[in-house]
Structure 1
């Protein structure tokens, strides 16, 4: 239905002009089923494009007898980009109803896009317009009377009384906007986007944000709102999605984002190097340079205590020994 529609309600006829529906009715003449059927009032009557109330002799509504649960669904023929569901109904049993959208014939596999918890017989609209901006193939109407006590105004049983169910949206998952003329951003995962805003529901690898764009250098994360770490090996440069430093950190730092200082006993880039065991406190050094900050063990010298220390007297004795040995050899 995209323009005027004829509704017959409670014994009198009105010409109801709905607001202009730019989206297409995806449910029209599509296969439909229901959990129970009363007489010949089958599920397909709710998607035939006709609106005559069965109580006035038209018989154009899908109906069932009363019971503890009632379920009706329509197959849209494939996953569609859905905006809203419009339901013209018979008021019997209708309070407390739910609308689900799913990709399978099991509503529990999908999403609950509406559940009535507030309507009364006085406030329940007809038709009722439910915004459901989801992707899905099957649209379900469901109601139950399985958990007492029931709210005021509820019958003790429920059933199906659907005169027309219209599911408005875009046939193509890659289009959005009121007349489905706009294309989703090319970087959206599988080309899918929100039917109203055109924002991506997912992004291709290394792309982020509502329009799935690359972040500028130095930024990462959702909406590119986070700064890359300045302790990365290349300061301020990181993976645009995760913020990881691409495997390299400045000296003294480690971790995916180079966010952790080196643990005691380690130093250098990514903290891969071990402090010298000849430091004054063995295995303890400055985390960036590896310099031993507490002196060296006896017999060692150097900034990393890497050189053996020989006392001067030993050096003089060795020098004298070699000199004497040389002179003896000459004699």
Structure 2
């Protein structure tokens, strides 16, 4: 107990008094806006009958982050806010729409957990955007009634199915294997939210997990243990350092395609060896897979009937096999998003 009190006293000396920092928030917001012109920084308070208003929430969108995103973004974002607070969700999404200048809603995708307030805010403010949900969250609810490794594998196979006929076939196989599990999925889920076969292709991203948020949250765990000013400053400095690290990393790379994408292309090359391509004219190819499946590839429009190429704009194994018959390097078939 004495050690705990000593630790708390030391933290107070280093970080400052938790409550006192809230009184400095207005000055902090003004200073951030002064040092980062045109940044969107503000907070709201609630009146609770006391002499001072009580802090409610704070929103911050730094200009450097916004400019960098808008200069080379893919139209997809992961969101994570308070679970059951509808007012907070609506407030946050409203500010985000303004900062990201979202106009072509049909080209945007947002990924969330199954947070009621956030889902309602998206449906009301952005009714046309694609909304995806984290597959792991769906599976966590599913396994409460239908557990087991075999069903786990089938759920992920369903989620990864890249075209609708494959999804339907896998669902029929699930029905034969476990009709109760099949019925649960039909009654409690909508494929458009979690199955690649139904995903929009405009964001060029086929993620099934909300790693966009989860990786950021894991990076700021230490910051979240600090008083509010310490937390905000730690996050701001983290973002600044991360952007510079990425700039230096890209300066050292050569070529027109990002290094990680080149590594993915190498993996796809191995899978392409199992395909046989037949040219049918005008950049069209018929692909025969060693297990009997057949696909059509159009190198000119960068499309394959398996839809994997359209979903993430990195050539699939079928496209890679077709490109091998041309004189074009595989990286020339990668979308400019990855340049």
- TM-score, scaled to structure 1: 0.19
Higher helix share: 2
**Which structure has the greater CA radius of gyration?**
1
Higher strand share: 1
Structure of higher RCO (CA pairs closer than 8 Å, 6+ residues apart): 2
- TM-score, scaled to structure 2: 0.19
